[in-house]
Amino acid sequence: MLKKILKILPRNKIQHLAEAATDQEALKLSAEKEHVVKNLMGLNQLMAHDIMVPRSDITWINAAMPLEKVIAHLKDFSHTRYPLCHQTLDNVLGMVHIKDIIMRGTTNANLKKYIEKPLFISPTMSCLDLLSQMRQDKKYIAIVLDEFGGVDGLVTADTLIEKLVEYLNPEGELKSALYTYDAPSRSLMVDGRFSVAEFEKNFGQLLTDKEKESDPETLAGLVLLLTGRIPNRGEVIRHPTGVTFEIKEVHSRGIRKMRIYNLGVLSKPKM
């Protein structure tokens, strides 16, 4: 999919369209197309460190670990590729595919035969450049290194594609993508950027009088106001209304995704 997307949207064509988009009359761009072009160029302002899986959340394989323990270690994860390292995450030997671990890796020495050379990048590399680099090198995972050469994080092609699709959405479509309702658990999975105002419009009054004074714009901002820090993944925060926030994804600068429970305690929104 990554190759198909970048074949359709080569970097130099995107840049040319974005520059020309300032002259809408000359290009005869519709408002929607102009929005898509400009939003896509916004992807170039995002850097690897903005979307990477942080070091603490990376699942990796120790090459010194017996293979049966490796398989047992990975049974709770659904990734297709993992960093293979020697003793420490900072000593990356390469990437290995789960099929090679299960079907071919009868021994650790045998497993090393199927190592894929990793793509190492700077945390300040733009996402658009990274997309192009992944296509060129046919890589699906990039290892983000800090200034000292240690592993800072990891970026997958799936994450980049998800971000690309998000930026291609016409204005107004992103709102619905910021949350999904799960009927069995009666919970709401939300993006941290989902605005408090939009949430209250759809689900009911959430902010307390004290919180209104601080005026948090997003749900992530509200949770940061409640905790006074960036919470850990899996942490559950209870709001004074009785609503609970379960943190699902975080990054170095804040909360990426969370699940909200007990929405029934909120006053119904005024129509």
CATH of the domain at 90: 3.10.580.10
* The last residue of a domain, from among 176, 211, 240: 176
Tell me, yes or no, whether 44 and 138 share the same domain: yes
Q: Is residue 271 part of a domain?
A: no
150/199 same-domain check: no
Which tens digit of pLDDT belongs to each residue from 209-263? Answer: 999 988 898 999 999 999 999 899 899 999 999 999 999 988 767 888 899 999 8
In this structure, what are the phi and psi dihedrals at residue 93, rounded to the nearest 5 degrees? -85, -30
99 residue type, one letter: K
Residue 223 lies in a domain: yes
Per-residue model confidence (pLDDT) at position 70: 81
One domain for residues 190 and 63: no
- Asked if residue 132 and residue 67 are part of one domain, the reply reads yes
Which of 80, 222, 231, 57 has the alpha carbon at shortest distance from 144? Answer: 57
Give, as one character, the DSSP assignment of residue 232. Answer: P
Same structural domain, 6 and 72: yes
**Mean per-residue pLDDT, 118-144:** 89
Give the residue-averaged pLDDT of 124-131: 86
- Residue 270 located in a structural domain: no
Q: Distance (Å, rounded) from C-alpha 149 to C-alpha 131?
A: 22
Q: Which domain holds residue 69?
A: 1-21+28-176
Q: Tell me: the pLDDT tens digits for 50-72?
A: 788 888 888 898 888 887 888 88
Q: Are residues 83 and 204 in the same domain?
A: no
Would you state the pLDDT for residue 237? 94
Q: Do residues 140 and 206 share a domain?
A: no
pLDDT digits (tens, 9 = 90+) for 4-44: 444 444 555 455 544 444 444 444 445 545 555 555 555 56
- Alpha-carbon span 62 to 60, nearest angstrom: 7
CB 266 within 8 A of CB 241: yes
Are 89 and 35 found together in one domain? yes
Q: Which one of 111, 144, 176 terminates a domain?
A: 176
Domain count, the chain: 2
Question: What pLDDT was estimated at residue 259?
Answer: 93
User: Cβ distance 261 to 243 under 8 Å?
Assistant: yes
Measured distance CA(61)–CA(93) in Å, rounded: 10
73 with 171, same domain? yes
Among residues 129, 157, 176, the one where a domain terminates is 176
The answer to whether residues 39 and 137 belong to one domain is: yes
pTM: 0.54
Q: Is residue 121 part of a domain?
A: yes
CATH number (domain holding residue 232): 3.30.465.10
Residues 161 and 194 occupy one common structural domain: no
Q: What is the mean pLDDT of the chain?
A: 78
